[in-house]
Chains A and B, each alone.
Chain A
Amino acid sequence: MSQAQWEQFICRACGLIYDEQAGDPDSGIAPGTKFADIPDDWVCPLCGVVKADFEPYDHAVPETTVATAAQVFARGLGAVIVGAGHAGWAVAEALRVLSPELPITLVTSCQGDRYLKPELSIAMSRGYTRDAIVQESGREAAQRLSVRLLAETFVVGLTPSLHQLRTTRGTVRYTSLVLAMGAQPAALSVLPSRLCWRINELSAWSALHHKLSTGPKRIVIVGAGMVGCELADDFVRSGHQVVLLDLAPRPMAALIPVEASERLRLGLEQAGARFVGSIHVASVTEVQDGSKIVTTQCDQTFQADEVVAATGLVTDPRIPMGAGLAFERGIAVDPKTLRTSAPEVYALGDCVSIEGAPCRFIEPISKQANAIAHAILNIEYSGYAHTQPVIRLKTKSMPLVLHGLPLAEGEWETELDSPDLLKMHQSSLGQVVATLEVGQLAGRKRV
């Protein structure tokens, strides 16, 4: 079969791409297996979504020309993208597909290497190294897409009225600006960054990976939300001793009901992690031998070789607010065009908020990028349509799938309670607003 006939399919939940040519040998799918020939019980190797949740991935070739926007770039400045995560590169790809000539500059504080961030919370137990996680180096991607890459460059200021972005490598002017700068782990003074890891990007993961590579370690994870639970599962499966702490009495308390939390806790504990709820961390200190002591307000202490803070993400308001952009828990964007309150400034991904709510998942990013690329090039487009992404907890010990957006005060009803699957839903005004599946069969059976 010739190369041109291989197709790719993208996981709607996590963005993983199934490439027919490469197959999925880890799951027993040989290279060269057509997507149609994959058994129906095959699941996404990254997030566990079923085959039906994949869709064809039109990895459109940049030659497809629609050159209608020349006048927009009369001044030759082009598009400037801030951030080289999935969102930043997705915009670069989408723009290049639509316009082979548009000058594109990508500014990033890291090297710009491409990888899927959700992999960071399952990578240790799979034995991945940094090299295995990186799909394409920043330099290669920049070359392939004809993008000027300003790596290891920090943005320090933005003046939309002058179309001026100020960086640590000088001032960059733009015709259109795309902010894809992500969100930062919340800084909490009781969890000083000098002592606590925050795993939100590859370099931090890589540094922690290096620390953990010398043998089993004692790890305390503060925060039992999605990332905390996934990391706990991943670390414990990698042979480390894990204690997972949270303010709430149970894991993922903000999102799922007691019954589901209980299953998750049991799953994590059976895998070997210990959950301690209803605690406030009072301090983290370092002792002589380099280990850390986590002390709670109720005077419990936990000794660890490494402490990981998984206490949520926030969008740093300094640049957007300094530039006068509307900001509400993130850079406020138009839900259809992803435009910010300033002309010619767009934003997407983890740094935005849509109708006041941040949406920090990988799934919507390609669609947001496409909407932005069309808006920048002034090409008619139906626009981005925001829907709540499917949440899949990649905890092998207790998979969990959540559709919809549950209400904090809503009542959950149990549909099925078997050892392999707990199925619940939440209704509001006669409509199902959220469904939840917990257990080894979660997400694998359709009702």
Chain B
Amino acid sequence: MNTVEITPALVSDISTREVLKAVTDISNTSLADAAYRIDHAGHYPLDIMAGLGEAGAFAAHLDRRGANFGLAIDAMRAISRNCGSTGFLTWCHDVCGLYMEQSGNPALMGEVLDNHAAGKTFGGTALSNPMKTFAGIEKMLLRAKKVAGGYRVGGALPWVSHIAAGQYCGAIAGVYLDDGSASHEIMFLLRCTEDVVLRQCPEFSGMEGTSTWGIRLEDYFVGEENLIADPAKPFIAKIRAAFILLQTGMALGVAQGSIDSILEVEPLLGHVNQFLHERPDELQAELEDLQQRIQKLAINPYETSKDYLIEVLDARAQGAEFVLKASQSALLHQGARGYMMNTAPQRRIREAHFVAIVTPAIKHLRWEMARLSKQEMPA
């Protein structure tokens, strides 16, 4: 009798395919239908996010699921292919789960994380400013003071996504001593309770459904149960590459969606579109190359060598450059069809711009790669 031996690798292969199929199904149906409403009318798609969570879109990269970053990126790609905003929410949600798990804080790792990973509760990330601070680009906006049992935090952040009353996000504050001198940084899970003021943001040109708010904190208490890392810097050094690498799923998906739009009109407009450059075959070749590099990097997402970090930054920067090119090309290929406000090529132009400017933006990525590439010399 022939039997097929079910190995752990095979099991994980099957579950990988199942997760990706379920996520793709949601993306191609309810998410594709809602994309314009999300982008333009500000619909925050928590219903769809819940379904994606149930399908396993937000758990693959966690250690408890074998740290399958490749699958997490593939899921984000499948989501972003139909809606860049939801792709971004996926990234926010993914890194928030990663902070919680990597914190080693039992209070953040049990049921709280189970619910988060399954899309039963929601939370994002507020690390744009601290990441730029650590790269020497900005000053830290949140300030903390040590008090009994934890810290008191004050300050304001201009825009934090995937939060709302009752939700949460990972945040970092600079700790100051009584004499006013800077001591170190802490990272914590900021819970959007009544102590947190959420301020409406001005209208953005797109991606309105990402539930992006200004945050103001006054004497906000952070207890030990909500501490992710103290001090924060070694923690950030550890998760930095993984944080950036995960973002590449957005670029891959929006770019693939752009190629879809080009191919969609090929039977009708191919005879004139042949005169355009950045044709679908060229774009697809570059996308495949990028995808392969990213999947290779996804094997060791916690590597901390300088060379690895440069490779990740390079992939993220290339993704941003590429998605700008692909979305622009899709609009040119579709012509007036794609210029209508509610069409995908028009929306993807805005999504691509977002991928290019969200932290780390192209300019920050290049700044950081240049900094890392410089030969060190004695002072």
Contacts and interface: CB of A to CB of B under 8 A. Distances in A.
A169 B366 contact: yes
What does DSSP make chain B's interface, helix, strand, loop or mixed?
helix
B375 interface: yes
A154 B289 contact: no
A318 B377 contact: no
Interface stretch (B70-78, B240-248, B313-321, B345-353): B313-321
Contacts of A154: 369-370, 373-374
A359 to B, nearest CB: 23
Interface residues of B, number: 22
A193 B375 CA distance: 8
Contacts of B373: 109, 154, 156, 168
Interface in B360-374: 366-367, 369-370, 373-374
Contacts of B311: 157, 318, 322
B285 A156 contact: no
Given A162-B285, A207-B377, A318-B307, A168 B318 contact: no
B286 interface: yes
B378 A156 contact: no
B289 A162 contact: yes
B310 interface: yes
A353 B307 CA distance: 22
A117 to B, nearest CB: 15
Interface string A405-428: 000000000000000000000000
B369 A168 contact: yes
B5 interface: no
A171 interface: yes
Contacts, number: 59
Contacts of A168: 366-367, 369-370, 373
A194 B375 CA distance: 10
Interface string A197-230: 1100001100100000000000000000000000
A196 B369 contact: no
B179 interface: no
Interface in A262-319: 306, 318
Nearest to A156: B314
Interface string A369-397: 00000000000000000000000000000
A69 interface: no
B314 A306 contact: no
Contact of A170 (B289, B310, B321, B374): B321
Contact of A194 (B286, B307, B366, B376): B376
Given A195-B378, A197-B378, A162 B314 contact: no
A157 B315 CA distance: 9
A261 interface: no
A426 B310 CA distance: 47
A21 interface: no
Nearest to A158: B314
B377 A156 contact: no
A296 B367 CA distance: 39
A126 B317 CA distance: 46
B289 A156 contact: no
Given A152-B370, A168-B370, A318-B310, 16 more contacts: A109-B373, A154-B369, A157-B314, A161-B285, A162-B285, A162-B286, A166-B318, A168-B366, A168-B369, A193-B375, A194-B376, A194-B378, A197-B377, A204-B377, A207-B378, A318-B307
Interface of A: 109, 152, 154, 156-157, 159, 161-162, 164, 166, 168-171, 184, 193-198, 203-204, 207, 306, 318, 322
Chain A to chain B: the 10 pairs with minimum beta-carbon distance, closest first: A154-B373, A193-B376, A168-B370, A157-B314, A156-B314, A168-B366, A168-B369, A156-B369, A318-B307, A159-B289
Interface of B: 285-286, 289, 307, 310-311, 313-314, 317-318, 321, 366-367, 369-370, 373-379
20 contacts: A152-B370, A154-B373, A156-B313, A157-B311, A157-B318, A161-B285, A162-B285, A162-B289, A168-B367, A168-B369, A168-B373, A170-B366, A193-B377, A194-B379, A195-B378, A196-B378, A204-B375, A318-B310, A318-B311, A322-B311
